[in-house]
Every structure is written in structure tokens, then in C-alpha cells.
Amino acid sequence: MSATASLAESGADIQSMFNRVAHKYDAANRVMSGGIDVVWRKKAIARLLDRMGDAPRVLDLGAGTLDGALEIARRSSGARVVAADFAREMLRAGRDKLPAEQPGRIATHAADGHHLPYRDAAFDGAFSAFCVRNLRDLPAGMRELRRVIRPGGRVVILEFLRPERTRFFFDRIWNAHVLPLIGWAVTGDRAAYRYLPDSIAHFRTSAEFEALMLEVGFADVECKPLFPSGVATMVVAS
């Protein structure tokens, strides 16, 4: 299967889809993953912040409802976090979770990942969870991400990459049939959760994504499959 054009790169209207499901997005994620997405996020952010200093500047790209940004702020009391997403309704839903006693620690910006409104080397590191699969021009988005991270900075990406070989249970049963039904039941939006398995099937493999990250200028890239059975991948680049 060719990975040259993901569903997002083929022109699917991803922005409207995320805006539609924003206020039920967290509930759908918790039910569909059984909470394992929380574990993945914590593991990835621990890797991101390791030896980054007491007051890192961190970008959360595709921040959605701010679960990642909030975890970064919780783990690093001196961090300044910028949460960027092109779906305004997702950010609006996330702002309801921001603690009133810590104003200004997390800034939320409606921003396009292909044209980030930040200067070169603005951040010490970046986190992104299940976002890059939805970029309409993945190479351009990754070049832009490289641009805004300082030399020697670290990027940690969580994503569902296309497996090298089809996995009978996860790909043909769970992703193809069970997840769309659960997502539809929780959100009432059948199309949004039909998109999920289809987008994985048309995305990059670990090897292809690693090659792309090196091509856009990251010096070192590690793709690490996560439990259970490599369903998600943690990509660490610097």
C-alpha cells in the first residue's frame, strides 16, 4: 500500500470533523482506549522533559483538549507551554480544564501546523499526540516543527503508524469495526470514527516516518512501539 497520500493529504476535511466532536472527544478517547492513552501520554511527556531544565519552553502541537499541555505543566512547574491546534472547538473544550490558580502557564493558540506563528528556535521541545496523521502536507508540517525547535531540542510524537504487516485482531476487527462503533455511540458522529482506522491504514510506517523526520532536518530519530502490541508508536527526534 502506498503511503504517499494520507487521507488528510488527499483533502479530507479534518478540521470540521474535530470541531464537531470536540466536546465529546475526551469521553470517546477514554472509552475506546480503556484509558491506555493516558499512560502513553505520561510516558511520552516524561521522555520529552527528561534533562530539559527547570523552565523549558514547550510546544504542544495539535493540542486538542489540552491533556498533553496539562500533563507537561503538571510535571514541570516552571514550564511555559504553548498549546496550538487548528480546531478552535477542541481548544475551547480544553480551556474548561485549565486551573484558575495558574493563569498564563498554558497559552492556547488557534494555529495551522503548516504555518506556525512562532519564530525560529522558539521552543526547547515539542510534544504532539495523534496529530501529525491529520496534516494535509506532512513533510511541510514536519519542516515547520523542526524550524521552531532550537538546535539540540527534543520532539516527542505519539501516533498510530501504519503497521508493516496487517494485524488480524487490531486492524481487521478492533480498528475496522469495534472502534468506529464505540466512537459513534459516544459522540453520535459515525464519519469521524470511521476516519480513524482509515487514516491509520493510509499513513506512514515507522520506517517511512523515521526517514521523513531525518529528511526534514532532525539529526536523530527513534521509533518505539508502545504496549499493547505496538498499537501506538512514540517517536523521539532531536
pLDDT at residue 3 tops 60: no
Given a contact cutoff of 8 angstroms between Cβ atoms, the answer to whether 45 and 75 are in contact is yes
pLDDT at residue 4 tops 60: no
Pick the closest to residue 145 from 170, 120, 179, 165 (CA basis). 120
Rounded mean pLDDT of 81-98? 96
pTM of this prediction? Answer: 0.93
Rounded mean pLDDT of 99-128? 92
- Gap between the Cα atoms of 220 and 120, Å rounded: 19
The residue extents of the domains of the chain are 14-237
- HSE at residue 151, side-chain half, CA atoms within 13 A, is 0
Tens-place pLDDT, residues 163-221? 988 887 888 887 888 888 888 899 999 888 889 889 988 899 999 999 999 999 999 99
- Gap between the Cα atoms of 204 and 215, Å rounded: 14
At 127 the three-state DSSP class reads: strand
Dihedral of CA atoms 58, 62, 64, 68 in degrees, nearest 10, equals -40
List, in sequence order, every beta strand (DSSP E) within 113-231. Answer: 123-129, 149-159, 221-226
Q: Percent of the chain scored above 90 by pLDDT?
A: 73
At 81 the three-state DSSP class reads: strand
CATH architecture group of domain 14-237? 3-Layer(aba) Sandwich (3.40)
pLDDT at residue 2 tops 70: no
